[in-house]
Amino acid sequence: MPFLNRVCSALAAKDIPYAIVGGHAVALHGAVRGTVDIDIVLSWNLDTLLSTEQALNQLGLFSRLPVNATDIYQFRDEYINNRNLIGWNFYNPDNPVEQVDIIITYDLKTRKIDRIETTAGPIKLLNKQDLIAMKKKSGRPQDIADIDALKKL
C-alpha cells in the first residue's frame, strides 16, 4: 500500500478528523505537482493530537523534535510566534522519505473536506477553495504557483 494511503488508513482507523493539504492535495485535485512529504491538518484539540501522534508512531514515524502532542497543544502559540514552527514533522528513521507534517497553524474545524476513493482506500483532502485560501495566507512562492495551478483546473 502506498505511504499516503497507509497514513490515511491509520488516521481513519482512529476516527481522526484530518485532511491532506500541501503538494499531495494539489496533485489529488488534478494539478501537476511533485512532493515527498505528506502535509495534514487536524481539528485542533488535544485528543486529536494525541491520537494522531499514536497513529503515526504505530506506522514507525517519530517526531523530529523533542516534543509530544501535549507540548504542541499547550505551547502552540509559542512555537508559532517565537520559534516560527509551522509544521510538526514526523519521519521514519528507516526510510527518511516517509515524512508527515502536521500543520499547526491551521484548524480543520470549519473547513470543507473532499473524499477521494482510491484502489488502496479513501483519502480525505482539503476542499479546493479552502486549500487555495490556506495557500494565499502562506504567500510562499510554491504556494502561489499551486494557487495558479488550482485555479486553472
pLDDT of residue 34: 79
pLDDT of residue 36: 86
Sorted by where each begins, the domain ranges of the chain are: 3-138
The answer to whether residues 73 and 49 touch, using CB atoms and an 8 Å cutoff, is yes
Report the distance separating Cα 135 and Cα 140, nearest Å.
Answer: 8
pLDDT of residue 1: 82
Sole residue written with cell 497507509: 6
Query: pLDDT tens per residue, the chain (153 residues)?
Result: 899 999 999 999 999 999 999 999 999 999 988 788 999 999 999 999 999 999 999 999 999 999 999 999 999 999 999 999 999 999 999 999 999 999 999 999 999 999 999 999 999 999 999 999 999 998 889 999 999 999 988
- State the CATH architecture for 3-138: 2-Layer Sandwich (3.30)
